[in-house]
């Protein structure tokens, strides 16, 4: 292609740019909705998946960071309970 584009080529490129801008606006709208609705942990996981394809650094994305241990650390209790309640769709206060 030479330094100057034909009018038809310019029209095609402008149409393509408009198409890409519309797609970007749609994706941005979806991401803003997700950002409002997701909890912090899920938002972080989504960001990691979008950026690198893996929700956890240096892990197989199909395993979601799972390991072969059954040991429970004190630091795991709160996040595990929060995940359980979220999966049930019931707020923790409603179960008491």
Q: One digit per residue, pLDDT tens: the chain, 96 residues? A: 456 789 999 999 999 999 999 999 998 998 889 888 888 888 888 888 877 777 666 555 555 555 556 666 777 777 777 777 777 776 656 555
- With residues binned 3-state (H G I as helix, E B as strand, rest as coil), the percentages for the chain, rounded to 5, are 65, 0, 35
Q: pTM here?
A: 0.43
Cα gap 48→52, rounded to integer Å: 6
Cα gap 61→26, rounded to integer Å: 26
């Amino acid at each position: 292609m030479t330094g100057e584009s034909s009018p038809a080529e310019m029209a095609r490129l402008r149409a393509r740019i408009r198409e890409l801008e519309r797609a970007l606006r749609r994706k941005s709208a979806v991401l803003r909705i997700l950002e409002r609705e997701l909890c912090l942990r899920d938002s972080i996981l989504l960001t990691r998946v979008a950026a690198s394809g893996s929700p956890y650094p240096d892990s197989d994305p199909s395993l979601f960071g799972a390991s072969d241990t059954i040991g429970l650390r004190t630091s795991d209790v709160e996040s595990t309970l929060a995940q359980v309640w979220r999966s049930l769709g019931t707020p923790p206060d409603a179960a008491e």
